[in-house]
Amino acid sequence: MQLPDYVRIGQVQKGLAELLQHSFSAIAVLVDENTYQYCYPIVAPILPQGHQIIAIPSGEQHKNLQTCQQIWQALTNMQADRNALLINLGGGVISDMGGFCAATYKRGIRFVQIPTTLLAQVDASIGGKLGIDFQGFKNHIGVFQLPFCVLIDTSFLATLPWRQLRSGFAELLKHSLIADWQAWHELTRAHHLQDVDWQKVVHHSIAIKERIVSQDPHEKGLRKILNFGHTLGHAIETYFLENRPAEQGLLHGEAIAAGMIAEAWLAVRKTGLPQQEFEEIKWHLLQLYGKIAISQHEIASIAQLALQDKKNQNGIIQLSLIEAIGACKYNVPATVKELKEALLAYCQMPAEIHDNNGTSIDQVGM
């Protein structure tokens, strides 16, 4: 399957050396404290002398206008002109926010994404969605702009904690659920994340996304299917960000996994997803991600947050719901009441998973 023409998968040093054959007036590298420590040393020997490092704190809570101002200020201080290059070295926050700052600085300078997390490799850095959170709403302010280049090196994944890897894996599972039945079966056959052939599955997952995005780059229609699990997933993620202590914070993919279970429950009722396929999805996702502890009294607030979802039209909630594993519909209208029912169904699912013999599996195992 075809990769987008701006994506290179392979050794990052080689990709960067080729890229730097183009001429740029200045080069800045955007990092956070983690990618500065673990990833910058890998690319630093390839970068020309005099490049600038722009360091920002890691975490979704910093994906905001204030941090953008720091980035624009740093570019201004180094007198970056329109021929400058910004290299975004990091996960989804760095690629979304760094890309947004580059796309708006002096009406746009070139930027390169070097995604270092699985989530950013298969999703955030692909397809040109850039942006920041605003007043608690995820990716509320942003633009569409393709990067000059995306360099994907799956050896970065070895630097990730297991929870981060599992979070990114949710987007691979989502790509398979919406568009590739066979990929779903291959991905769920892996017993442990460390057994996965990352180069192969990342390549395949990007190609699935590209097949969708190339038909609808600005999300007027088909691209909305990439948001399966995200209406409720984002609402859960936002709710936790605002209402729970940092130590209970959810990673994006963890919230999306819960969102996919709840939306698949709704899909049985609204788009005819077969019950047996729902059970299969629920089983695999609960086994890998466990269950997020949401209390029944929190459901109404979470469902309300979904009213801000960018897919909604004329105040009507529009969901992307699968109709079978590998096939997804978009613009499926839903009410707040239905979202509450789906969240309640999720809350009432047993946290313990049973295998086909009824034996309890209490360790989230992959």
How many other CB atoms sit within 10 Å of the CB of residue 185?
Answer: 13
- Residue 129 annotated as catalytic: yes
Give 52 or 312: the residue with its C-beta nearer to ligand GLY.
312
Q: How far is the CB of 23 from ligand GLY (least distance, A)?
A: 31
For residue 311, state whether it binds ligand GLY (rule: CB under 6 A): no
- Residues 57, 366: Cα–Cα separation, whole Å: 30
B/e letters for 117-156, b = 16+ CB within 10 Å, e = fewer, are bbbbbbbbbbbbbbbbbeeeebbeebeeebbbbbbbbbeb
Q: How far is the CB of 127 from ligand GLY (least distance, A)?
A: 4
Query: Residue with structure tokens 């991600």?
Result: 289
Closest among 169, 184, 161, 162 to 122, alpha carbons compared = 169
For residue 123, state whether it binds ligand GLY (rule: CB under 6 A): yes
For residue 170, state whether it binds ligand GLY (rule: CB under 6 A): no
Distance (Å) of CA 47 to CA 12, 18, 107: 12, 11, 25
Q: How far is the CB of 356 from ligand GLY (least distance, A)?
A: 34
Catalytic residue selected from 227, 291, 329, 341: 227
- Residues 139, 93: Cα–Cα separation, whole Å: 10
Q: How far is the CB of 128 from ligand GLY (least distance, A)?
A: 8
Residue whose C-beta lies closest to ligand GLY = 226
For residue 226, state whether it binds ligand GLY (rule: CB under 6 A): yes
Q: How far is the CB of 50 from ligand GLY (least distance, A)?
A: 34
Q: What angle do CA 175, 178, 180 make, to 5 degrees?
A: 70
- Residues 306, 189: Cα–Cα separation, whole Å: 33
Tokens of 222: 């088909």
Give 35 or 227: the residue with its C-beta nearer to ligand GLY.
227
- Residue 33 annotated as catalytic: no
- Residue 352 annotated as catalytic: no
Catalytic residue selected from 210, 219, 237, 277: 219
Give 16 or 322: the residue with its C-beta nearer to ligand GLY.
322
In this structure, are residues 127 and 224 in contact, taking their beta carbons and an 8 Å threshold?
A: no
Q: How far is the CB of 172 from ligand GLY (least distance, A)?
A: 12
Distance (Å) of CA 157 to CA 4, 35, 60, 165: 21, 12, 19, 7
What DSSP string describes 65-81? Answer: HHHHHHHHHHHHHTT--
Catalytic residue selected from 60, 171, 254, 277: 171
- Residue 297 annotated as catalytic: no
Q: Which of 8, 129, 282, 284 binds ligand GLY (CB under 6 A)?
A: 129
Q: How far is the CB of 225 from ligand GLY (least distance, A)?
A: 9
Give 8 or 129: the residue with its C-beta nearer to ligand GLY.
129
Pairing of strands 52-56, 110-115: unpaired
Provide φ and ψ at 107, rounded to 5°: 65, 20
Stretch that binds ligand GLY, among 121-129, 192-200, 258-266, 302-310 (CB under 6 A): 121-129
- Residue 185 annotated as catalytic: no
Stretch that binds ligand GLY, among 88-96, 123-131, 175-183, 357-365 (CB under 6 A): 123-131
Distance (Å) of CA 310 to CA 139, 160, 208, 291: 9, 30, 22, 26
Catalytic residue selected from 138, 209, 270, 291: 209
Q: How far is the CB of 345 from ligand GLY (least distance, A)?
A: 25
Q: Which of 223, 252, 284, 291 binds ligand GLY (CB under 6 A)?
A: 223
For residue 210, state whether it binds ligand GLY (rule: CB under 6 A): no
Burial of 90 (0-12, 13-18, 19+ CB in 10 A): buried
3-class secondary structure, 82: coil
- Residue 252 annotated as catalytic: yes
Catalytic residue selected from 138, 175, 204, 252: 252
Q: Which of 90, 127, 253, 259 binds ligand GLY (CB under 6 A)?
A: 127
B/e letters for 269-280, b = 16+ CB within 10 Å, e = fewer, are ebbebeeebbeb
Give 28 or 212: the residue with its C-beta nearer to ligand GLY.
212
Residues that bind ligand GLY (CB under 6 A): 123, 127, 129, 223, 226
User: What are the residue numbers of the active site?
Assistant: 107, 129, 171, 209, 219, 223, 227, 230, 234, 252
